[in-house]
């Protein structure tokens, strides 16, 4: 009896300096996440990924790319654009964390409160959102995800190969440890 050949999707868009990355540039393991700030599964993975980075600080680098599923999550695109507006001011990760920690508050009113809480210029960021100044960046991440076979969120790539395991902390730690020794 033969088993079907399992094809693992590959990351089609290489990680560059333009990506949002947390962790050492020379980390032995790179984990690329395609995520949606309004997705509850991404929110659950967020806590485990943060703890993974804490426990394996010298081993793993996390790269975040936007994959807002707008037909299911009506505020996901604007949340991604707010994150990019924050990135323009070197505050991407602070906004990233705020968005995941306030997933139930991503409507326009609460987003503007988040911008203010982080000390960002609310009028400037509001203007950027109104003219969709960061939509191209979000779209570029999304298209890169499609090219890499992303069909849902969260989707992780571990050293350029799609990670098919679970998102619990023990599963992520085991996968990173295995990749680090490979």
pLDDT in tens, 34-61: 999 999 999 999 999 999 999 999 999 9
Q: Which pTM does this prediction carry?
A: 0.94
Please report, for the chain, the start and end positions of each structural domain, with discontinuous segments joined by +.
28-181
Q: What value does the mean pLDDT take over residues 62-77?
A: 97
The residues near 36 (Cβ < 8 Å, ≥ 6 apart) are 42, 66, 67, 68, 69, 73, 76, 80, 153, 154
Q: What value does the mean pLDDT take over residues 6-28?
A: 91
Which pLDDT does position 7 carry in this prediction? 55
d(CA 110, CA 116): 10
CA 5 to chain centroid, in Å, comes to: 29
> If we measure between CA atoms, which residue out of 172, 168, 175, 163 comes closest to residue 8?
163
Q: Give the CATH number of domain 28-181; options: 3.40.30.10, 1.20.140.10, 3.30.1950.10, 2.60.40.10.
A: 3.40.30.10
pLDDT in tens, 130-167: 999 999 999 999 999 999 999 999 999 999 999 999 99
% of the chain beyond a pLDDT of 90: 95
d(CA 75, CA 99): 11
């Amino acid at each position: 009896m033969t088993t079907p050949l399992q094809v693992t999707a590959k990351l089609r868009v290489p990680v560059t300096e333009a990506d949002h990355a947390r962790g050492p540039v020379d980390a032995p393991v790179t984990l690329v996440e395609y995520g949606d700030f309004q997705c509850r599964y991404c929110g659950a993975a967020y806590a485990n990924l943060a703890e993974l980075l804490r426990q394996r600080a010298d081993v793993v680098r996390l790269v975040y790319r936007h994959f807002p599923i707008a037909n299911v999550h009506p505020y996901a695109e604007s949340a991604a654009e707010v994150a990019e507006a924050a990135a323009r001011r070197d505050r991407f990760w602070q906004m990233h964390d705020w968005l995941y920690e306030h997933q139930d508050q991503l409507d326009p009113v609460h987003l503007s409160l988040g911008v203010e809480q982080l000390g960002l210029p609310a009028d400037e960021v509001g203007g950027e959102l109104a003219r969709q100044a960061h939509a191209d960046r979000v779209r570029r991440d999304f298209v890169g995800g499609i090219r890499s076979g992303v069909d849902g969120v969260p989707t992780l790539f571990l050293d350029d190969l799609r990670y098919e395991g679970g998102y619990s902390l023990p599963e992520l730690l085991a996968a990173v440890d295995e990749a680090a020794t490979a």
